[in-house]
């Protein structure tokens, strides 16, 4: 078993213990162990071989024995016993946003409710509000939470879909019978959420390919298994479709199954207007007597035939890209190599796992020229927000590190909370000391549209604020964007020269592609930040780059493409 899976077992044990009202220290120990395992760079199985599990922080004799049991037997008896001791529906209930173990326990014990379905019914009938501590409002929130959960299930975040898709693609790539294999659909277009995963391949032996595909360990259920197309359901309940196509049609099939549907329709209309027919088998010249196949082997061949520049998959949404491609003026999209730094990284000063120095070294290895270390501000205690004294310490550490590191410039920043009245969580006298101030909302999401908008605008008007972080606040599967007037926020950003963040954290992607387009229209700059809490998180930058591409952003629209001197001068305008 992989480290991640073992961490997951520990997390679930913690959850079950919570539901049972067990000792909080024991619960915390399992959670902490899971967290530490997740950030290990070495395989647990190697550590077992070397008998050095107990070197991992948070892993004592007892947990080490459990890890050993999992690695050696593939299971953990204690976990299986615990799982049997509770109805499985209770653990699922904890996925409802805003519903904690105490309430789940109370509802189960007093009303014997053990599934989300019966919980929803009871809440709709007003049966929960008689329980101690549960009010009408709590009931309403449970109903809303269940709705969000259902919606979240329907589509998954791009990052998760990429991981699932990769497992299938990697397994199939190992076959010598596979000539080419590519993802298609929304996954290839790097859409922020994906409903199902589409994969295309060319092979000399489709049967062998289908047999391998349907027996990947991740397969939970085979939906259909045919000669050239199979569909399965993965363990995560995500459908994966694999099609094997002819070499001659691969480009046409890839174009068709990459979509989007609206792009396909527009492209087909363009083809018809010019005397062609296009489908997943190729492009055909239509004539009175017979049809003649004229292209289809590669996508490029098809774009060439139509006199278009090749349209990158990220742009294929029927937002005007076809006419731009015909006029040879598609936007010049940025690539990951254009990124010179990350603006939003948490260090161990607040809730991040790594020290500023470790973050600096990792960023330097990525070739970054600068790094914005933005920890939480003082009132966000739950996330280790920094008080004034600690912030002063951080400022001086970063000053020293900047003397030591010649190749990367560390920006001492803060992700400052915008309080419910619109004021900032640090006084200006402190903000002035920082190189980079990103302001964000973390509480009071349920305020009215007017209140939320004016709260953000107050922050924009503060001369010391550079960036508004995760501007719309949505978190996939947890909460929708808060209710703000985005146009007003954009014009305020324009007036006060404040940038908006494109937060690349896998569950956020905030701003999304459409809002990036709107920002570009208003000439508002975008700052991409990964919101990393560990070194691994730094690699989420690619999600930000893809979203910027989907939003048609170019170099000049994005702060992260600036050279250090240019960036420092932009930042210091605010001082």
- Give the binding site for ligand DGT (CB under 6 A): 185-186, 191, 194-196, 198, 256-257, 259-261, 264-265
The answer to whether 497 contacts Ca ion (rule: CB under 5 A) is: no
* Rg from Cα positions in the chain: 26
505: three-class secondary structure by DSSP: coil
Among 101, 145, 165, 185, binds Ca ion (CB under 5 A): 185
Q: Let me know: does 194 contact 156? Beta carbons within 8 Å.
A: yes
Q: How far is the CB of 265 from ligand DGT (least distance, A)?
A: 5
Q: How far is the CB of 263 from ligand DGT (least distance, A)?
A: 8
**How far apart, in whole angstroms, are the C-alpha atoms of residue 45 and residue 559?**
43
* Binding partner selected for residue 260 from ligand DGT, Ca ion, none, CB under the kind-specific 5 to 8 Å limit: ligand DGT
Residue nearest to ligand DGT as judged by C-beta position? 259
Q: How far is the CB of 197 from ligand DGT (least distance, A)?
A: 8
Q: How far is the CB of 244 from Ca ion (least distance, A)?
A: 17
The answer to whether 259 contacts Ca ion (rule: CB under 5 A) is: no
Q: How far is the CB of 319 from Ca ion (least distance, A)?
A: 19
Among the listed ranges 186-194, 286-294, 382-390, 559-567, the one in contact with Ca ion (CB under 5 A) is 186-194
Farthest CA pair distance, the chain? 84
Block residue for tokens 């990036």 = 516
Task: Return the closest-CA partner of residue 247 out of 150, 180, 177, 328.
Answer: 180
DSSP string across 186-242: HHHHT-SEESSEEEEEEES-HHHHHHHHHTSTTEEEEEEE-SSEEEEEETTS-EEEE
Q: Which is nearer to Ca ion, 198 or 557 (CB)?
A: 198
- Number of helices and strands in the chain (H, E): 24, 17
Q: Which is nearer to Ca ion, 103 or 264 (CB)?
A: 264
Q: Which is nearer to ligand DGT, 206 or 259 (CB)?
A: 259
* Binding partner selected for residue 398 from Ca ion, ligand DGT, none, CB under the kind-specific 5 to 8 Å limit: none
Quickly count: other Cβ atoms within 10 Å of residue 146's Cβ. 21
**How far apart, in whole angstroms, are the C-alpha atoms of residue 403 and residue 226?**
63
Q: How far is the CB of 272 from ligand DGT (least distance, A)?
A: 13
Q: List the x/- string, 191-210, binding to Ca ion by CB under 5 A.
A: -----x-x------------
The answer to whether 480 contacts Ca ion (rule: CB under 5 A) is: no
Strands 467-468 and 436-440: parallel
Among the listed ranges 48-56, 181-189, 503-511, 543-551, the one in contact with Ca ion (CB under 5 A) is 181-189
Q: Let me know: does 321 contact 314? Beta carbons within 8 Å.
A: no
Q: Which is nearer to ligand DGT, 183 or 372 (CB)?
A: 183
Q: Let me know: does 411 contact 372? Beta carbons within 8 Å.
A: yes
Q: Which is nearer to ligand DGT, 36 or 260 (CB)?
A: 260
Q: Which is nearer to ligand DGT, 158 or 333 (CB)?
A: 158
**How far apart, in whole angstroms, are the C-alpha atoms of residue 456 and residue 418?**
7
- Give every CB contact of residue 407 below 8 A, 6+ residues apart in sequence: 364, 369
Q: Which is nearer to ligand DGT, 317 or 435 (CB)?
A: 317
Q: Which is nearer to ligand DGT, 82 or 184 (CB)?
A: 184
| Interface size with Ca ion, residues (CB under 5 A) | 4
**How far apart, in whole angstroms, are the C-alpha atoms of residue 486 and residue 230?**
43
Q: How far is the CB of 273 from ligand DGT (least distance, A)?
A: 16
User: Residues interacting with Ca ion, by CB under 5 A?
Assistant: 185-186, 196, 198
């Amino acid at each position: 078993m992989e480290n991640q899976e073992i961490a997951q077992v520990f997390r679930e044990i913690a959850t079950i213990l919570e539901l049972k009202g067990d000792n909080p220290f024991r619960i915390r120990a399992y959670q902490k162990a899971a967290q530490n395992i997740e950030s290990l760079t070495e395989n647990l199985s190697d550590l077992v071989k070397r008998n050095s599990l107990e070197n991992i922080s948070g892993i004592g004799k007892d947990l080490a024995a459990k890890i050993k049991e999992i690695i050696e037997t593939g299971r953990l008896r204690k976990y299986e016993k615990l799982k049997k001791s509770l109805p499985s529906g209770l653990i699922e209930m904890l996925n409802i946003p805003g519903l904690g173990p105490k309430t789940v326990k109370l509802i189960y014990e007093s009303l014997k409710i053990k599934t989300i379905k019966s919980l929803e019914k009871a809440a709709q009938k007003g049966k929960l509000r008689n329980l101690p501590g549960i009010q009408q409002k709590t009931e309403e929130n449970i109903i809303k939470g269940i709705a969000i959960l259902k919606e979240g299930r329907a589509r998954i975040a791009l990052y998760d879909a990429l991981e699932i898709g990769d497992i299938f693609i990697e397994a199939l790539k190992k076959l010598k019978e596979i000539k080419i294999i590519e993802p298609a659909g929304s996954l290839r277009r790097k859409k922020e959420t994906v409903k199902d995963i589409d994969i295309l391949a060319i092979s000399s032996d489709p049967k062998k390919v289908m047999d391998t595909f349907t027996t990947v360990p991740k397969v939970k259920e085979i939906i259909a298994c045919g000669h050239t197309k199979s569909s399965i359901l993965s363990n995560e309940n995500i459908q994966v479709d694999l099609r094997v196509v002819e070499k001659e049609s691969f480009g046409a099939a890839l174009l068709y199954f990459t979509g989007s549907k609206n792009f396909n329709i527009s492209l087909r209309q363009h083809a018809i207007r010019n005397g062609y027919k296009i489908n997943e088998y190729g492009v055909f010249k239509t004539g009175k007597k017979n049809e003649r196949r004229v292209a289809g082997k590669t996508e490029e061949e098809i774009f060439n035939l139509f006199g278009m520049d090749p349209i990158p998959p990220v742009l294929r949404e029927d937002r005007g890209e076809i006419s731009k491609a015909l006029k040879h003026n598609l936007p010049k999209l940025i690539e990951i190599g254009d990124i010179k730094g990350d603006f939003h990284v948490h260090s161990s000063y607040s809730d991040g796992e790594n020290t500023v120095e470790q973050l600096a070294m990792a960023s330097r290895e990525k070739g970054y020229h600068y790094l914005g270390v933005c920890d939480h501000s003082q009132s966000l205690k739950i996330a280790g927000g920094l008080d004034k004294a600690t912030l002063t310490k951080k400022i001086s550490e970063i000053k020293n590190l900047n003397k030591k590191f010649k190749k990367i410039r560390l920006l001492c920043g803060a992700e400052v909370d915008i309080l419910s009245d619109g004021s900032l969580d640090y006084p200006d006298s402190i903000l002035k000391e920082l190189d980079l101030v990103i302001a964000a909302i973390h509480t009071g999401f349920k305020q009215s549209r007017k209140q939320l908008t004016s709260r953000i605008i107050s922050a924009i008007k503060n001369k010391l604020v550079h960036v508004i972080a995760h501007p719309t606040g949505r978190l996939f599967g947890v909460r929708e964007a808060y209710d703000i007037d985005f146009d007003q926020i954009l014009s305020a950003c324009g007036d006060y020269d404040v940038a908006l963040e494109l937060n690349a954290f896998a569950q956020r992607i905030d701003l999304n592609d459409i809002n990036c387009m709107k920002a570009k229209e208003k000439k508002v700059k975008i700052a991409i930040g990964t919101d990393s809490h560990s070194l691994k998180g730094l690699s989420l930058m690619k999600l930000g780059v893809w979203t910027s591409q989907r939003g048609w952003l170019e170099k000049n629209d994005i702060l992260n493409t600036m050279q250090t001197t240019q960036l420092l001068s932009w930042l210091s305008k605010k001082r």
